[in-house]
């Protein structure tokens, strides 16, 4: 199926690793021009190198999504280079630690919400006027099943994602009439550096054997009996960004191997 993304311009936040990197590569495979955002130019580098053989126009857009002035300036540069921005994927997020909320530090909670929720709002704010002006745009927010079904020891992180889910729905109602769709893709456990760091922290606390047993249990909870791979998420993101998904907006779509089946 041709997703008709050839020549479209895409910005993916947090694209230096994991799911964001897979999304950037998936858009390039469809022939789209890709702006790779991450915290620093160095963190964008690996993805840019992976993009090079595809031959699509690609650029680094290094900024911290929580800093609105930097977001605006860098997205301005993306517009200058590509002449437009058709697709924004709000993927950047952090999970500071896995502690019960009662033991968590307020500053860690604030940072998780600042990156996961306000960061997505800042990026969206910076692209939306252009999309409305051209009566075409696609915004895809990466949320988490942790927000859809609740997740212990991830209270602030999942609160950021819960906010992003509400943002997705309400914004979709505002901008649909302007040809802009807003959807969310909700992964469950996916094998990325973020998840491996989380497992590393658990291992330091509980030991390798306990974590291996926990992983086996996790796999058994998934009807498809596997942990997700970044490409599983990227495939749905490119579809939602395509013209094929023109009638889909305000939806929260899980890519979770059947882990949860919210109604």
**Binding-site ranges for ligand NAD (CB under 6 A):** 13-14, 16-20, 37-39, 43, 64-66, 91-94, 115, 119, 142, 144, 187, 189-190, 192-195
**Closer of 136 and 233 to ligand NAD (Cβ):** 233
Q: In sequence order, which residues have a C-beta less than 8 Å from that of residue 131 and are 6 or more positions away?
A: 85, 86, 137, 139, 175, 178, 179, 180
State in angstroms the smallest separation of the CB of 76 from ligand NAD.
17
Distance, in Å, from the CA atom of 96 to the CA atom of 198, rounded to the nearest integer, reads 9
State in angstroms the smallest separation of the CB of 136 from ligand NAD.
25
Q: Is 157 a catalytic residue?
A: yes
Distance, in Å, from the CA atom of 74 to the CA atom of 68, rounded to the nearest integer, reads 10
Distance, in Å, from the CA atom of 24 to the CA atom of 12, rounded to the nearest integer, reads 6
State in angstroms the smallest separation of the CB of 164 from ligand NAD.
9
**Closer of 136 and 142 to ligand NAD (Cβ):** 142
In the bound state, the residue with its beta carbon closest to ligand NAD is 18
Tell which residue, 128, 127, 145, has the closest CA to residue 185.
Answer: 145
**Closer of 57 and 62 to ligand NAD (Cβ):** 62
Rounded to 10 deg, the angle between the 18-29 and 41-51 helix axes is: 40
Distance, in Å, from the CA atom of 126 to the CA atom of 250, rounded to the nearest integer, reads 20
Of 157, 167, 239, 259, which is the active-site residue?
157
State in angstroms the smallest separation of the CB of 17 from ligand NAD.
4
Q: In sequence order, which residues have a C-beta less than 8 Å from that of residue 196 and are 6 or more positions away?
A: none
Structure tokens, 251? 């939806």
**Closer of 137 and 162 to ligand NAD (Cβ):** 162
Active site residues: 157
């Amino acid at each position: 199926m041709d997703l008709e993304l050839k020549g479209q311009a895409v910005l993916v936040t947090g694209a230096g690793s994991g799911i964001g990197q897979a999304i950037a590569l998936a858009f390039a495979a469809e022939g789209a021009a890709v702006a790779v955002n991450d915290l620093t130019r160095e963190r964008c580098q690996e993805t840019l190198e992976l993009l090079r053989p595809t031959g699509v126009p690609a650029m680094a857009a290094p900024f911290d999504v929580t800093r609105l002035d930097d977001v605006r300036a860098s997205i301005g540069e993306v517009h200058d280079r590509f002449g437009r921005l058709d697709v924004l994927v709000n993927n950047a997020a952090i999970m500071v630690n896995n502690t019960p909320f009662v033991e968590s530090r307020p500053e860690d909670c604030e940072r998780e919400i600042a990156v996961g929720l306000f960061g997505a709002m800042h990026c969206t704010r910076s692209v939306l006027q252009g999309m409305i002006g051209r009566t075409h745009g696609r915004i895809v927010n990466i949320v988490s099943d942790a927000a859809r079904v609740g997740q212990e020891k991830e209270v602030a992180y999942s609160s950021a994602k819960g906010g992003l889910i509400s943002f997705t729905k309400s914004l979709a109602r505002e901008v649909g009439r302007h040809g802009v769709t807003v959807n969310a893709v909700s992964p469950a456990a996916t094998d990325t550096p973020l998840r491996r760091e989380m497992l590393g922290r658990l291992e330091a606390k509980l030991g390798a054997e306990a974590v291996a047993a926990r992983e086996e249990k996790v796999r058994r909870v998934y009807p498809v009996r596997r942990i997700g791979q970044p490409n599983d998420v990227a495939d749905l993101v490119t579809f939602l960004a395509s013209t094929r998904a023109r009638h889909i907006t305000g939806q929260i779509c899980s890519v979770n191997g059947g882990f949860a089946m919210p109604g």
